[in-house]
Chain A
Amino acid sequence: MPKDSGIGASSKRREDVRFLTGAGHYTDDIDLRGQAYVHFLRSDVAHGTLKNVDTSAAEGMPGVVRVFTGADFAEVGGLPCGWQITDREGNPMQEPAHPVLAQGKVRHVGDPIAAVVAETREQARDAAEAIEVDIDDLPAVVDMKAALKDGAPKVHDELTSNLCYDWGFVEENREAVDAAIKSAAHVTRLELRNNRLVANPMEPRVAVGDYSRSTGESTLYTTSQNPHVIRLLMGAFVLGIPEHKLRVVAPDVGGGFGSKIFHYAEEAFCTFAAKALNRPVKWTSSRSEAFITDAHGRDHVTTIELALDKDNNFVALRTETHANMGAYLSTFAPSVPTWLHGTLMAGNYKTPLIYVNVKAVFTNTVPVDAYRGAGRPEATFQLERVIDKAARELGVDPVELRRQNFITEFPYPTPVAVEYDTGDYNATLDKLLEIADLAGFEARLAESKKNGKLRGLGVNCYIEACGIAPSHLVGQLGARAGLYESATVRVNATGGLVVMTGSHSHGQGHETSFAQVVADMIGIDENMVEIVHGDTANTPMGMGTYGSRSLAVGGSAMVRATEKIIAKARKIAAHLMEASEADIELKNGQFSVAGTDKSVAWGDVTLAAYVPHNYPLEDIEPGLEETAFYDPANFTYPAGAYACEVELDPDTGKVTIEGFAAADDFGNVVNPMIVEGQVHGGLAQGIGQALLENCAYDEDGQLLSASYMDYAMPRADDVPFYRVDHSCQTPCTHNPLGVKGCGEAGAIGSPPAVVNAVIDALQRAGRDVTHIDMPLSPSRVWDAMNKG
């Protein structure tokens, strides 16, 4: 029976009522008294030398408060990068400066040159048009391989080249991998591109800076997934504001998908300008501006080789990837193609030898950083595509080839530095085959043929590393931050709880699922628990929400803090009942003495904690409030198997998704309804990447897909009802909830299923097509069918 409350229940989301009635409180809904508006004048060329920025005409325009240029930020720090990669030679990556406003050069379309603060938005924009900018255009580098050629224009003159780093992993395995591939019975090779994407949360970014002369405190309201990280980065590295004088608030945030992790120039600008002008300064991004300022995602070009022995066992894997960094290093950019990608190249398979080479490249494009899945979709896509290709070359069933090579014993240390704690890949694959109705495929294929259409089926597996991340490990790997999470549980005198967490919720439903966990532990009604997040002023230092970490890491911190609360409450209960603490039991919100009918209610104990008239003051302090920081021992490893069925119109190349099934192992599940919703959303983004979404630049560095007129967002009629299942559960062995994380799986596992299905459809129809780069738009499919 499904539970109706607590852990395992599909509790309805409490946050929904405000969102459904127009009472949500997003950053753009914040207007502060006396606020001015900023408009950024942005570069319309991809690369150029800034010779002069003449603001004199703009300064005299109506309503203008002040015009800022790079000169105003000469003494201010640049935007920091939070991860340093060490290259194959042991040297640190090349790390260029990233100014708040351009200094001397512009390096991508959208690079901010000047900022006009005015009384109204339109006045700021009017004045920005009056700024005279003298730019000497420079040739742009857009293609990564061209950017690495001798004599290529340099994005950053002070660097030796456009190569950020050349990373090898595991470098010690390189020769052994080469040798194994050379002597293998069969090698399958595939060149592919993981297409550049734009995250496109529906809420564009907003920043409102404020400064209080009375307290000397700066406040930034911002659309962020991690307000404490922004406070740390902006305070310590950019503006030099100590954290006790800087408050960052991220209220309701309308989706993030990674793009709202990073610290952006506009946040620093609004905070800086509010203090300089002594009045609030607000910036609201338009969608068009978002396309040229929000960090993009993916953009890897890869060659992958899979070597098999004569019995079709995987013996070695080698990849070479060019990863686009864009013009500057965004906050976590260097970690995405390396530690979030190379460490997952084993996938679900016991390939003994793996070598991953990644060349990160600067180009005159918008910075590229984490987008839902971040590195893991790129790893999964290559691996699951090359396995599919290998199966076709070898004439074996792609499902069985996978199954034959599955890891089946746990814990399993991979040759790429991580250890899978638990999993059962056969179980999720078996479940998938059941829910995808593969048995009925032939009949559906016949029906499609009758209608002049092609039909195909694609299956793949995936694994990801979530619950980011053990601080001691990521520290060794170059992270410049810890990746623990925190929670403070404050119990009020009358028994209600407030849980203050560093995790941020921007669609994930934490206010509901976190409350389920805490209420379940105590045995009280979920509505007695309130979740507070998003404001550095009233939550403990936390690292925020990304990498499917909130429940695995933040939830674990909450569990630890609640355990401390319960331990103290037991002492109080023992005192109240004059019993031994060892005999106290907590069930359904009642403390009782084992073997007796003596009991006190949760509320009696909490009241005693705050009205300590009858209280063991000699042993414990009054009050009931505890904080825990949780640093995970390992990543978690959600895994699963996905199947996609497509129909293809051979006359137009148009692919339609006829069915999509996903069988996931997320370990234990707190709220099945929310988990399924997370998978649904991830699937649509993965299908979007596979069929629709294409962030493209021309050779001059102009963004071709710069609005929804050209960047195809998945819409309701692009996707089907999905069949999802999470009944295969191998609980995580190292966190207290046994949870693994579900936020990114859908986006990681789905693109190869779609592409495998299209290739399957084409090959069943006798077409000699082995790969098409995403997105598989009608024109690309048609071109592939009609090549030569």
Chain B
Amino acid sequence: MYAFDIERPTTLAEAVKHMAASEENQALGGGQTLIPTLKQRLASPEKLISLTGIDEIRGICEDDAGRVCIGAATTHAEVVAGAGAYPALAALAGNIGDPAVRNRGTIGGSLANNDPSACYPAAALGSGATIVTDKREIAADDYFEGMFATALDEGEIITEVKFPVPQKAAYMKFEQPASRFALVGVFVAKYADGVRVAVTGASEEGVFRWSEAEAALAADFSAGALDELSLSGDNMISDLHGSGDYRAHLVGVMTKRAVTAAG
């Protein structure tokens, strides 16, 4: 790693100040992706601003609209334990990485990084969540801008994520055998006003909504409703672990399984 300093603010205001001090400063969530990146010397921050000591952005609650609101510095393990009001989300969190990673990794860190194979982006997009930052609220539909790209501005810090709780939902992940990230992961959520289907791991463009499937499921929320649908493998990731066509096929399989699991 290149040399850097670490700041451990205890309030959001301090953190914001640190982030504003230099464009070379970078937020540190649980570090489960950032630290391996730093080890490869792929990043050279001047300072890392650790967010995990800020109590005001940690924890889980429900707001007046019944949304499950998760502080950005909440670990995956805490979501597993505390997001019982949204079982599909808790289950997703419980299958990210491994237990030790779940004890450190945070939802804010995952969403800020927007790894194309990460699980949380599928949950956020599939739930139509709202990403709250120190400056504003961003709808999930406007937040994800492609692989490792988001709507966050330089220095902007995610503070909370608000998830509307669906009637039914499930996440199905088909794991890449080495990293255990999603080779394809599909989050399906049925709300009173429609169905959302978000796909991670598959596309060169990062997490995306499968609108044809959403329409079909809105009309008939059953795996059979997807029988006639297929995706093209053209813009899918093609690598050592599977071709674009294979991933496109898996999206169909995992979507059906998610619908079945959602019940």
Asked if A and B are interacting partners, one says yes
Q: Count chain B residues whose beta carbon lies closer than 8 angstroms to a beta carbon of A.
A: 21
Chain B hits for A126, CB < 8 A:
2
C-alpha spacing A307/B249, complex, angstroms: 41
C-alpha spacing A710/B240, complex, angstroms: 8
| Interface of chain A residues 754 through 788 with chain B (CB within 8 A) | 777-779, 782-783
A782 & B240 in contact (Cβ 8 Å cutoff): no
| Interface of chain B residues 226 through 263 with chain A (CB within 8 A) | 239-243, 246, 249-250, 253
Chain A hits for B3, CB < 8 A:
122
B241 & A651 in contact (Cβ 8 Å cutoff): no
Beta-carbon nearest neighbor of B253 in chain A = A651
Q: B1 interface residue, CB < 8 Å from A?
A: yes
B240 & A694 in contact (Cβ 8 Å cutoff): yes
Q: Mark A613-655, 1 if CB is under 8 A from B, else 0.
A: 0000000000000000000000000000000000000011110
C-alpha spacing A705/B40, complex, angstroms: 16
Q: A185 interface residue, CB < 8 Å from B?
A: no
B249 & A692 in contact (Cβ 8 Å cutoff): no
A777 & B249 in contact (Cβ 8 Å cutoff): no
A777 & B40 in contact (Cβ 8 Å cutoff): no
B178 & A710 in contact (Cβ 8 Å cutoff): yes
Q: Is the interface of A mostly helix, strand, loop or mixed?
A: loop
Chain A hits for B178, CB < 8 A:
692, 705, 708-713
A782 & B179 in contact (Cβ 8 Å cutoff): no
- Distance (Å) between the CB of B6 and the closest chain A CB? 16
| Interface of chain A residues 65 through 123 with chain B (CB within 8 A) | 122
Chain B hits for A783, CB < 8 A:
243, 246
Q: B191 interface residue, CB < 8 Å from A?
A: no
Q: A704 interface residue, CB < 8 Å from B?
A: yes
Q: B210 interface residue, CB < 8 Å from A?
A: no
A712 & B40 in contact (Cβ 8 Å cutoff): no
- How extensive is the interface on chain A, given as a class? 20 to 34
A778 & B177 in contact (Cβ 8 Å cutoff): yes
- Distance (Å) between the CB of A708 and the closest chain B CB? 6
B241 & A777 in contact (Cβ 8 Å cutoff): yes
Q: Mark B160-185, 1 if CB is under 8 A from A, else 0.
A: 00000000000000100111010100
C-alpha spacing A99/B250, complex, angstroms: 48
Q: Provided the pairs A122-B1, A652-B253 are in contact, do residues A696 and B240 lie with their beta carbons within 8 angstroms?
A: yes
| Interface of chain A residues 648 through 700 with chain B (CB within 8 A) | 651-654, 691-692, 694, 696
A777 & B177 in contact (Cβ 8 Å cutoff): yes
Chain A hits for B249, CB < 8 A:
782
Beta-carbon nearest neighbor of B257 in chain A = A651
Beta-carbon nearest neighbor of B242 in chain A = A779
Chain A hits for B253, CB < 8 A:
651-652
C-alpha spacing A708/B177, complex, angstroms: 10
Q: A288 interface residue, CB < 8 Å from B?
A: yes
C-alpha spacing A654/B257, complex, angstroms: 15
C-alpha spacing A451/B219, complex, angstroms: 28
C-alpha spacing A708/B179, complex, angstroms: 6
C-alpha spacing A80/B49, complex, angstroms: 51
Question: CB < 8 Å: which of A129, A712, A782 contacts B177?
Answer: A712
Chain B hits for A705, CB < 8 A:
178, 240
Chain B hits for A709, CB < 8 A:
178-179, 181
C-alpha spacing A288/B240, complex, angstroms: 18
Q: Mark B30-42, 1 if CB is under 8 A from A, else 0.
A: 0000000001110
Beta-carbon nearest neighbor of A779 in chain B = B242
B177 & A692 in contact (Cβ 8 Å cutoff): yes
Chain A hits for B40, CB < 8 A:
288
B174 & A652 in contact (Cβ 8 Å cutoff): yes
C-alpha spacing A652/B243, complex, angstroms: 13
Of the candidates A286, A288, A710, A711, the one having the most CB atoms from chain B within 10 angstroms of its own CB is A710
Chain B hits for A713, CB < 8 A:
178
- Distance (Å) between the CB of A710 and the closest chain B CB? 5
- Distance (Å) between the CB of A781 and the closest chain B CB? 10
Of the candidates B177, B181, B183, B243, the one having the most CB atoms from chain A within 10 angstroms of its own CB is B177
Of the candidates A653, A691, A778, the one having the most CB atoms from chain B within 10 angstroms of its own CB is A778
C-alpha spacing A410/B219, complex, angstroms: 73
Chain A hits for B177, CB < 8 A:
691-692, 712, 777-778
C-alpha spacing A713/B246, complex, angstroms: 22
- Distance (Å) between the CB of B2 and the closest chain A CB? 8
Q: Mark A123-139, 1 if CB is under 8 A from B, else 0.
A: 00110010000000000
| Interface of chain A residues 415 through 473 with chain B (CB within 8 A) | none
C-alpha spacing A652/B246, complex, angstroms: 9
Beta-carbon nearest neighbor of B39 in chain A = A286
- Distance (Å) between the CB of A567 and the closest chain B CB? 56
Chain A hits for B246, CB < 8 A:
653, 779, 782-783
C-alpha spacing A783/B243, complex, angstroms: 9
Chain A hits for B179, CB < 8 A:
708-710
C-alpha spacing A651/B250, complex, angstroms: 8
Chain A hits for B39, CB < 8 A:
286
Chain B hits for A692, CB < 8 A:
177-178
C-alpha spacing A711/B176, complex, angstroms: 10
| Interface of chain A residues 709 through 760 with chain B (CB within 8 A) | 709-713
A704 & B1 in contact (Cβ 8 Å cutoff): no
C-alpha spacing A691/B177, complex, angstroms: 9
C-alpha spacing A709/B183, complex, angstroms: 12
C-alpha spacing A126/B239, complex, angstroms: 32
C-alpha spacing A709/B37, complex, angstroms: 12
- Distance (Å) between the CB of B241 and the closest chain A CB? 6
Q: Mark B175-201, 1 if CB is under 8 A from A, else 0.
A: 001110101000000000000000000
| Interface of chain B residues 1 through 27 with chain A (CB within 8 A) | 1-3
C-alpha spacing A288/B40, complex, angstroms: 9
C-alpha spacing A126/B179, complex, angstroms: 29
C-alpha spacing A652/B241, complex, angstroms: 13
A778 & B240 in contact (Cβ 8 Å cutoff): no
Question: CB < 8 Å: which of B2, B41, B241 contacts A779?
Answer: B241
Beta-carbon nearest neighbor of A651 in chain B = B253
Beta-carbon nearest neighbor of B177 in chain A = A712
C-alpha spacing A31/B250, complex, angstroms: 50
B250 & A704 in contact (Cβ 8 Å cutoff): no
C-alpha spacing A635/B69, complex, angstroms: 68
- Distance (Å) between the CB of A50 and the closest chain B CB? 23
Q: Provided the pairs A288-B40, A709-B179, A710-B179 are in contact, do residues A779 and B243 lie with their beta carbons within 8 angstroms?
A: yes
C-alpha spacing A122/B39, complex, angstroms: 11
Beta-carbon nearest neighbor of A714 in chain B = B177
Chain A hits for B243, CB < 8 A:
779, 783
Beta-carbon nearest neighbor of A649 in chain B = B253
Beta-carbon nearest neighbor of B181 in chain A = A709
Chain A hits for B1, CB < 8 A:
122
C-alpha spacing A782/B253, complex, angstroms: 12
C-alpha spacing A712/B250, complex, angstroms: 20
Of the candidates B2, B41, B246, the one having the most CB atoms from chain A within 10 angstroms of its own CB is B246
A652 & B250 in contact (Cβ 8 Å cutoff): yes
Chain B hits for A704, CB < 8 A:
239-240
C-alpha spacing A782/B245, complex, angstroms: 11
C-alpha spacing A37/B2, complex, angstroms: 16
- Distance (Å) between the CB of A452 and the closest chain B CB? 11
Beta-carbon nearest neighbor of A125 in chain B = B41
C-alpha spacing A692/B176, complex, angstroms: 10
C-alpha spacing A704/B239, complex, angstroms: 9
Chain B hits for A696, CB < 8 A:
240
C-alpha spacing A136/B172, complex, angstroms: 48
Chain B hits for A129, CB < 8 A:
41
Chain A hits for B183, CB < 8 A:
778
- Distance (Å) between the CB of A586 and the closest chain B CB? 54
Chain B hits for A708, CB < 8 A:
178-179
Which A-B residue pairs are the 3 nearest by beta carbons?
A779-B242, A712-B178, A712-B177
Given contacts A652-B174, A708-B179, 4 further A-B contacts (CB under 8 A): A692-B178, A712-B177, A777-B177, A783-B243
Q: List 14 A-B contacts (CB under 8 A).
A: A652-B250, A694-B240, A705-B240, A708-B179, A709-B179, A709-B181, A710-B178, A711-B178, A712-B177, A712-B178, A777-B242, A778-B177, A778-B242, A782-B249
Q: Give A contacts to B, CB under 8 Å.
A: 122, 125-126, 129, 286, 288, 651-654, 691-692, 694, 696, 704-705, 708-713, 777-779, 782-783
